[in-house]
Structure 1
Amino acid sequence: MKAASERAAGESAPRIAMLGGTFDPVHLGHLRSAVELHEALGLDRVHMMPAARPPLRGEPRITPEERLSLLRLGIGDTPGLIADPRELEREGPSYSADTLAELRREFGPEARLVMALGHDAFLRLADWHAPERLFSLAHLVVVDRPDHEADLPGPLAELIDGREVETPAALMASPAGGLLRLRLPSRMAISATEVRRRLAEGRSVRYLLPEAVEERILSAGLYRR
C-alpha cells in the first residue's frame, strides 16, 4: 500500500485521526469515508466521535446515547475504526480544540494527529471556537464531497494561508499544523438529512445505512415524525 510505504517521516509516531460529527444517524458514507481515510493516510486508528452539543448545528434528533449505540453497531469489527464517546462524557459544547487537546495528551507530542472534516464544515472553520488552536494541536484533512464546490471565504483563506500541503507524506512529516485536501475514492454523497426524511416518511433506507443500524432504527421507531 502506497500510504504505508510513505511513513519514513515519524516512522514510530502514532498516526491518529479524529472524525467528528453528529452521526444523526451514522450512514455508509460516514463509515466508508473513515475506512478510506485510514487507508489513504496510513493511520493507526480513526476515532469517530459523536458530538453531544454541536455549537454550530441544531440539536440532533435522537439522544447522544442512541447515536453512540448506532455508531458502534455501524462500525462493528471494522479494523482501525473506534467509536469514541469522550465528547458525550464532557460537560458543555463539543469544541474540537478541547477534544484534540485530550488526544494530544493521550498520544504524546510526536503523534501525527489529524482532524478530518468535510468540505461543507471546512468552509465555516473560521467561525469555530479557537480555530487557530486547531492547527497547534493537529493537522486538518478536508475530505471533498462531490456536491461541494465553492470559493473560500476571506477569513478562512487567511486562517489556512501557508499551511496547505499536497501529499500525505508531506503532511505526516510533522506532528501538526498542516492542511491537506483529500479526495477519497468512493466519495459517497449520502445525506443524513435525507436519511432522516426518508425514515420520517416511512420510505426505504436500504443500502444507505449498515444493515445493523437500519434494523435498530426500525425496531426502535427512531426518526419517526
Structure 2
Amino acid sequence: MGVTSPRCIAVLGGSFDPVHNGHVALAGYFARLLVPDEMRIIPAGQPWQKQGLQTLPAHRVEMARIAFRHLAVPVTIDEQEIRRTGATYSIDTLRALREELGPDASISFLMGADQLQKLQTWKDWQALFELAHLCAASRPGYGIDDTRIAPEVAREFARRAATPEQIRHTPKGLAYVATNLAVDISATQIRAALEQDGDVASLIPAGVLDYIQQHHLYRN
C-alpha cells in the first residue's frame, strides 16, 4: 500500500461583511498555488479589532457559501468563530483547527495585505507559526520589505520563507508572500456605496449582490 500524504488545508477567515471579489481572488490564488485538499472559510464572530458587524451571522455565512462555491477545491464554511462567545482571535481558531485536524496536517492561514500590515498587533501573533503556515498577499509590486510591514513581521516572514511545495508537505511554521495579487477592495467602501444605491457590480460576486438585494442588506 502507498503512503498517503497528510491533508493540506487552507484557511481564510474574515468578516465577509459583505464578501467581495478581493476575498474570492485571495482564496482562488492560494487554491491554485497550494492545491489544498480543502479550503476552510471562517466568517468572524466578534473580531476584536472591528466594531459592530452590520449583518447577521446567518447572512454572512450564506454570502460566503455563494461567493466561494465555484473554487476549484472543496470548500467548507466553518462557523466556529460565530458560535464562540466574546471576542474572536485567530490564535484560538488555529488552536481549535489543529486539535481537529491533528499534528500532521498542513494548515495554511491566508491573509490579505491589510492584515499583513497590522499582524504585529494581533494577539500572540508569533505563536500562529506554531500552529500553521502564514500565507499573505502583499501590495502588487511590494515584497516583504515594504515599509508598511512591521520590521519584526518582515523578519519572521523572511526567516520562514518557503515554496508552496514545502508548505504542502510540512504541518506548520513556514511563510509565503504573494506580490503579484492585485486586490484592493474595501468592504467599508462597498457598504457605503450600497447605502447610496451605488454600482458595486464589479466588486462583488454576482450571486452575492443578488443575495444582498433580495434581503435588503446594507440599507439605512
**What interval of TM-score do these two structures reach, taking the shorter chain for normalisation?**
0.7 to 0.9
Partner Cα distance (2:129, 2:10) in 1: 14
1:61 and 1:145, CA in 2 relative to 1: closer, same or farther beyond 3 A?
A: farther
TM-score normalised per structure 1: 0.85
1:21-53 deviations in Å (ceiling 9; x for gaps): 111100122113212211101211111111111
Q: Please give the alpha-carbon distance, in whole angstroms, between the structure 2 residues aligned to 1:19 and 1:83.
A: 10
Q: TM-score, normalised by structure 2?
A: 0.87
For residues 165 and 205 of structure 2, what CA distance do their matches in structure 1 show? 32
In the alignment, does 2:174 pair up with 1:178? yes
Match runs of 1:1-225 below 5 Å: 12-76=5-69, 78=71, 79-146=73-140, 149-157=146-154, 159-160=156-157, 162-165=159-162, 167-183=163-179, 187-225=182-220
Q: What residue identity is the alignment partner of 1:57?
A: K
Work out the CA distance in 1 between the residues paired with 2:158 and 2:179: 20
Distance 1:147 1:161, change over 3 A: closer
Cα distance in 1 for partners of 2:110, 2:97 equals 14
Q: What CA RMSD, in Å, does the superposition of the two structures yield over aligned residues?
A: 2.2
Q: Identity percentage over the alignment?
A: 32
- C-alpha deviation, 1:210, in angstroms: 1.8
Gapped runs of 5+ residues in structure 2? none
- Work out whether residues 111 and 175 of structure 1, in 8 Å CA contact, stay in contact via their aligned partners in 2: yes
Unpaired segments ≥5 residues, structure 1: 1-9
- 1:90-123 deviation line (CA, Å, top 9, x unaligned): 1221111111111112211111111011122112
| Pairs aligned (count) | 214
Show structure 1 runs of 4+ deviating over 3 A: 76-79, 145-151, 157-161
Structure 1 residue 77: Cα displacement: 5.1
**Structure-1 separation of matches of 2:27 and 2:118:** 21
